[in-house]
Amino acid sequence: MALIDGMGRQITYLRLSVTDRCDFRCVYCMAEDMQFLPRSEVLSLEELATVAEAFVALGIRKIRLTGGEPLVRTGLVDLVARLSTLPGLDELTLTTNGARLAQFAHPLKVAGLDRINISLDSLRPERFRELTRTGRLEDVLAGIAAAREAGFRRIKLNSVILRGRNDDEVIDLVSFARHEQLDLAFIEEMPLGVIDEHDRARSFVPSAEILETIGQRHALLPSTDNTGGPARYYRMADSGIRIGVISPHSNNFCGSCNRVRVTASGRLLLCLGNGHGADLRTILRAHPGNLQQLQEAIQATLPQKPERHHFVLDEPPQIVRFMNMTGG
Ligand code: SAM
Ligand code: SF4
């Protein structure tokens, strides 16, 4: 079976959010005082596994577990163990803030997780604390080390660069990635959710500027690793790592979009920048463990996948949900 949307795009990639909760409060992702979902509204581990099974049977080949912070979800390692054995799933990956990886990297590897992305926006402890509001840089550095020791390969760092906050750290982050032999992607800030901490229009740094900054220090060679996803990758002659930019504003990649998301509350979202989707939780709870009902709902919703998103920075956000709700 294959999932094909109304534009003829084949959907092979699911981002599954396992919680909306987080131990950080990153300034671009959340308000400082967040209201999280009541636990009864969050999918159980069993329901999350059922969702994954339904999607894999429909042709999904890659699942990324995300959140909120996936590592604050009790039972995550068990979920990974269950999903990693799904026949037909080629890759199971995780996006994390890294703070709990020192504890979980090894068990996750044993459970069958294939790859890890770790978010890291600053290498300066005080600034790291300011950007995450609660995080400790040393925990994340220990987490990165633990992920390497556990045997994870092609670990990727993700950095959101904000003007006036950490745009002077682009080269430091590249140097760190080169030294640690980690891939690194710079993500443009997206207007998801209303934040009052900074003005997204002022803080926005386009990918082109980041590439120019890096280019003054290291010659960047376009990479053949570009897979049609949102990231454009580059290599350097004197390093094996890849440098990527993810540019939802300046480089619209919707034409080749192959992904959908399911939020922690079981809402199927067809596009990061739009509201189109379906409530899978109601189906899951009316027909526990029934893959067919779920698959019919997914198939019926897919034609609504919009052609593209329309992010506008200097207008109030059209999408009022925060990134931790959406599943980053
Ligand atoms: N907590 C995990 C983490 O931080 O990696 C996973 C979830 S987080 C929502 C996933 C990614 O989304 C992170 O790399 C984060 O930096 C990014 N992100 C969050 N809010 C964003 C925004 N408004 N614009 C762009 N990226 C954002
Ligand atoms: Fe938490 Fe990740 Fe959002 Fe930061 S970006 S607040 S770590 S969910």
Q: What is the pTM of this model?
A: 0.93
Per-residue pLDDT at 173? 98
Q: Is 47 in the pocket of ligand 1 (CB under 6 A)?
A: no
Per-residue pLDDT at 309? 65
Residue 89 CB contacts under 8 Å (≥ 6 apart), including other chains: 52, 56, 60, 61, 62, 63, 83
Per-residue pLDDT at 24? 97
CATH architecture of 3-326: Alpha-Beta Barrel (3.20)
Nearest CA residue ID for atom 4, ligand 2: 26
pLDDT tens by residue, 245-286: 988 766 566 777 888 999 999 999 888 766 678 899 999 999
Mean pLDDT value of segment 157-179: 97
Burial of 151 (0-12, 13-18, 19+ CB in 10 A): exposed
pLDDT at 320 over 60: no
Q: For residue 21, how far is its CA from the centre of ligand 1 (angstroms)?
A: 13
Residue 98 CB contacts under 8 Å (≥ 6 apart), including other chains: 118, 119, 120, 139, 140, 143, 144, 147
Stretch among 1-5, 51-55, 156-160, 267-271 having the lowest mean pLDDT:
1-5
Nearest CA residue ID for atom 3, ligand 2: 29
Per-residue pLDDT at 328? 61
Pairwise CA distance, residues 86 & 119, whole Å: 27
Per-residue pLDDT at 225? 73
pLDDT at 302 over 90: no
Q: Is 143 in the pocket of ligand 1 (CB under 6 A)?
A: no
- Which ligand 2 atom is nearest residue 68's CA? 8
pLDDT at 191 over 80: no
Q: Is 97 in the pocket of ligand 1 (CB under 6 A)?
A: yes
- Which ligand 2 atom is nearest residue 25's CA? 6
DSSP 3-state percent helix, strand, coil across the chain (nearest 5): 35, 20, 45
Q: For residue 190, how far is its CA from the centre of ligand 1 (angstroms)?
A: 9
Per-residue pLDDT at 254? 74
